[in-house]
A and B are shown apart, each in its own frame.
Chain A
Amino acid sequence: MTVQHPIPAAPASKIPATLSPGRLLTIENLTVGFNGVRVLRGIDLTLARGEALGVVGESGSGKSVTWLAALGLLPKTAEVSGSVRLDEDELLGLHASRLNRVRGGRVAMIFQDPSSALNPVIRIGRQIGEVLARHQGMSGASVRAEAKRLFDLVGLPDSARRIDAYPHELSGGQNQRVMIAMALAGKPDVLIADEPTTALDATIQAQILDLLTTIRKETGMALVLISHDLGVVSETCERIMVMYAGGIVETAPSNLIFETPRHPYTQGLLAAVPPFEGAVERLVPIEGQVPHPANMPTGCAFAPRCSRHMSECEKIVPPLKSIAAGRASACLAEEGAQAERHSSPIKSMSA
């Protein structure tokens, strides 16, 4: 059976010889360290135009740091190396004035706790107005009109009056809508949403995710949804990237990651999630703990917790390898298992 999926198949691990026209953002060998401790260990990924990529991982897996580093939003003390290109333009090391044309413009970002991500002493109309003035060159009455239009677009009730509100006068969900409106104000090619629903109630969560999906369809922008919740990203995104201890362990189309998770860590994650339907069986936790960045095992970071771990796993850092169309996994056991799987009728995720 050959798997068809809607996104351009660009194996995250390999850099094709020719640049695909659909490619928007390219990250190569991105590493981040704090005080000499590496927290991000060489990330390679590409984001296609209009694609919705979900990034899943525990806290400390590097899922947020990747994007903060890409936009130069980490503290100055962070040691960042590698390459982040938007189309052909390198973003790392870019002069602040040029980077500021990208940030909030072509690449927008929203954050976890909307109530603290908005400035408490500035009216929300002015906060969105800053983006309109900076990236759309608007001024005066047109700023206000456009702010109102954007607030309507994101479903902020009573938008004309709310323009003069302060963040504390709005609910968390409303503030996240304001953040999204502010992101849209720059007409971005990609919106990076860093745990946008984690701080919100479950019902509001669904509304915000629906809103992101709708906006993406209407504007054609790409979306990077960062979450610790596989369920959240699988419904919103086409492709999922699983991160563990500062590295990518698996990427796959979202429908397949639930059906046939390949990496032992992904399998462990799914075993720890209660099923949506049917009887709740006993959930299986992943034994052990995430290694501390300063105390990383020499080989595979997941090896100490892995049920399939072999002696080589302690020596070699497994590279992220393409295992099927649009799928990649960083596991030595996976490589060995692949030959067997060819003949296996059950797991016919053929290459």
Chain B
Amino acid sequence: MFRYFIIRILRALLTVALVVTFAFIVLRLSGDPAYSIMGDNASPEALAAFRKEWGLDQPLWNQYLHYFAAIVHGELGQSMRGGGPALDLVLSRIPATLMLTLPALLMKLAIGIPAGIYAALHRDSLIDRAVMVTAVAGYSVPSFVLGLALVQLLAIWLAWLPTGGAGSPLHLILPIVTLGVGGAAVLARFVRSAMLEVLGQPYIRTANAKGIPWTAVVRDHALPNAAIPTVTIVGFMVGNLIAGSVVVESVFSWPGVGNLLVVSVAARDLSVVQCILLLVAAAMVLSNLVVDFLYGFLDPRLSNDNTAGRH
């Protein structure tokens, strides 16, 4: 069990390092921030001064080593555009993003999991088909289309809700629903297939042959096994709490991390973009670690050091 986690923690750190490296290379190749931040009319001297100030005149490998060393020391650089520490800027936007993504996550879980279980238990029934049709629709419609459609319907035609921006609880509803619907659909489909897989296993037949009531068979025998694959996808959703709402934040002009990312990419504010990518990677990797940890609990076959008779 211990070795299982050490290996996973090392792997997680390696993943973050790879993401940071990749982001660094791609961003340096994608354009010179001097132009976008100083403007097209800046004099060559001003551009040169800007490049010198941010170390952009250095060879790429040199920039990379400096950047990496700084990260290891917890130094994430200054915003090229607005000044001030990039990390502070990003962190200041996180609460706004979580105000959308956390309720949306709850909505995904509260709708997706029961719908998937119900559909699997009533396979091929009318309700199963209805759930699956809704689910396919829910996850094949892009979030910006759904978002705009909801705005058109509820904000413009019915005028019940604001079209975008922040300020009141009413502003939260449309972005949360837009985020939640797709995720709930994905989860419903996934849980359904996980349950169907489990319900076809021989140990379910054994449980039935033992004369256990069906509700207990589902609760004690099917759900714990179906939870194992489901934890993976829920972990992915948790890891996406910070970065999962880029499109929706843009659609609803929501002042969160996603919005900051779009603006920073457009402006080539490299340190801010890198900072966001690092946080997103860290969040994803951390939630994956938690998932691996949960696996160890949910599936005794993984923590294989013979725990029998320890107590």
Contact = CB atoms under 8 A, between A and B. Distances in A.
A251 to B, nearest CB: 25
Given A116-B203, A121-B300, A73 B310 contact: no
B210 A104 contact: yes
A182 to B, nearest CB: 7
B171 to A, nearest CB: 44
A122 interface: yes
Interface stretch (A39-47, A161-169, A234-242): A161-169
B37 interface: no
B201 interface: yes
Interface stretch (A54-62, A94-102, A210-218, A314-322): A94-102
A134 B210 contact: yes
Nearest to B214: A96
Contact of A111 (B202, B211, B299, B310): B202
Interface in A51-74: 68, 71-73
B231 to A, nearest CB: 12
A120 B210 contact: no
B308 A104 contact: no
A172 to B, nearest CB: 13
A186 interface: yes
Nearest to B227: A121
Contact of A130 (B210, B225, B301): B210
Contacts of A108: 209
B180 to A, nearest CB: 30
Given A161-B309, A168-B300, A182 B210 contact: yes
Interface in B98-152: none
B66 interface: no
A180 interface: no
A111 B210 CA distance: 12
B203 to A, nearest CB: 4
B224 to A, nearest CB: 5
A105 interface: yes
Contacts of B304: 168
Pick from B213, B298, B299, B300 the residue with the most CB of A within 10 Å: B300
A131 B206 CA distance: 11
A119 interface: yes
A73 B208 CA distance: 7
Contact of A134 (B212, B221, B309): B212
A113 interface: yes
Interface in A78-121: 96-97, 99-105, 108-109, 111, 113, 116-121
B209 A71 contact: yes
Contacts of A166: 300-301, 308
Contacts of B216: 130
Nearest to A105: B211
A163 B311 CA distance: 11
Contacts of A162: 308-309
A113 B205 CA distance: 12
Given A111-B205, A120-B203, A162-B309, A100 B300 contact: no
Contacts of B221: 119, 122
A347 B201 CA distance: 48
Given A118-B206, A119-B225, A120-B225, A168 B212 contact: no
Nearest to A179: B206
A121 B224 contact: yes
A191 B208 CA distance: 15
B226 to A, nearest CB: 10
B308 A169 contact: yes
Given A134-B211, A168-B301, A73 B205 contact: yes
B23 interface: no
A112 to B, nearest CB: 8
Given A113-B202, A162-B308, A165-B309, A131 B210 contact: yes
Interface string B287-305: 0000000000011110010
B203 A117 contact: yes
Interface string A123-139: 00000001100110000
Nearest to B224: A121
Contacts of B301: 120, 166, 168
Contacts of A119: 203, 206-207, 221, 225
Contacts of A182: 210
Contacts of B210: 103-104, 130-131, 134, 182, 186
25 contacts: A68-B205, A97-B213, A100-B211, A103-B211, A111-B205, A116-B201, A116-B202, A117-B202, A119-B225, A120-B225, A120-B299, A121-B228, A121-B298, A121-B300, A130-B210, A130-B220, A158-B309, A162-B308, A162-B309, A163-B309, A164-B309, A168-B304, A169-B306, A182-B210, A186-B211
Given A68-B205, A117-B205, 7 more contacts: A101-B211, A103-B210, A108-B209, A118-B206, A134-B211, A158-B309, A166-B308
